[in-house]
Amino acid sequence: MTSSIAFPSSRLRRLRRSSVIRSMLMESRINLDSLVYPVFVQEGIEDKEPIQSMPGLSRLPLSMLNHEVRHLIELGVRAVLLFGIPRIKDEHASSAYAEDGIVQRAVSSLRREFSSDELTIITDVCTCQYTTHGHCGLINGNRVDNDSTLDVLARIAVSHAYAGADIVAPSAMMDGQVRAIRDALDDNGFKDVLIMSYSAKYSSSLYAPFRSAADSAPRFGDRKSYQLYYANTREAMREIEQDILEGVDIIMVKPAIGYLDIIRLARDTFKHPLAAYSVSGEYALVKAAAMQGLIDEDAVIMELLTCIRRAGADIIITYFAKRAAEIMNGKVNR
């Protein structure tokens, strides 16, 4: 008996009938050049230290950094975002801009072995890991002092540039940080060093595993007075616009997976290169589900990264960068 249902002349399912056709018609693709791998470098350790809050990741001693990065480059990941964990903290984050600071030595070590054409070195510019109080700026009384923090952020950025960083990434969410850093870089002869600002950085519970990994949790209060409230969209666009007016080269949205609408709006609103940071909590949630056998970890990694790309990100900062590269290179061990 012939069905009386009238089908359209174009059956869209035909576009999905085989893996080759699906691949050929894929609208959003991840490429290895778009991935950035965050790396924790810790002062005063001799061997890798597994990060309990982020299974599969470790804090690295300086002596093992170049080997780790060489492996990344061989996989096709050619950009790292460095986070330093110092031995000494104080009220003024002085180790963050010290000539012999952990990040400065890490950058110098990498730069001696890898040229800018082989590896892009990005450095996080903030105070939280370097202060006894754990906030992203200097404290005046019981509050974070925006304006006095700007000079410190500028000093950190310049010290990273002297060491050989290609891109500095201010994450403190202080008003005016991009302008202060741009002026300082230019005044010190680093006109070609890029600024990738954490322009729309939300105050998120998803940062908890990172704060454990980097020993950067605030010792009092929280960061809600300077990071964005997760309910707000228009405010994020204003933050991004302000960074652009101050001379930022690359804008960023953080976190990523729960903020795909913000990434898409930023992509549609602004013409600047756009990075998205898939944060530690996003990583930990996937790992926890995979460790319980609830999901196919590799499949979820590729799906989530593709979703971030689909939303409009040019650059994806992710703790899954190494694994994604192994998957894309066919180096998958079960």
Q: Where are the domains of the chain?
A: 29-328
**Residue 40 · residue 81 · CB < 8 Å:** no
Residue 307 marked as a ligand binder: no
Closest CA to 234 of 279, 200, 257: 200
φ, ψ dihedrals at 141, nearest 5°: 75, -115
Predicted TM-score of the model (pTM): 0.94
The CATH number of 29-328 is 3.20.20.70
Residue 319 marked as a ligand binder: yes
In 3-state terms, what secondary structure has residue 65? Answer: helix
Residue 216 marked as a ligand binder: no
Question: For 246-298, what is each residue's pLDDT tens digit?
Answer: 999 999 999 999 999 999 999 999 999 999 999 999 999 999 999 999 999 99
Catalytic residue among 89, 191, 201, 287: 201
Catalytic residue among 48, 89, 224, 254: 254
Q: How far apart are the first and last CA of the chain?
A: 48
**The dihedral formed by the CA atoms of 231, 249, 208 and 84, expressed in degrees to the nearest 10:** -160
Q: Is 254 a catalytic residue?
A: yes
Q: Is 201 a catalytic residue?
A: yes
- Mention every residue, 6+ apart, whose C-beta is less than 8 A from residue 296: 290
Question: For 140-191, what is each residue's pLDDT tens digit?
Answer: 988 999 999 999 999 999 999 999 999 999 999 999 999 999 999 999 999 9
In sequence order, the β-bridge partners of residue 41 are 60, 84
Residue 126 marked as a ligand binder: yes
As a whole number of angstroms, the distance between CA 153 and CA 267 comes to 27
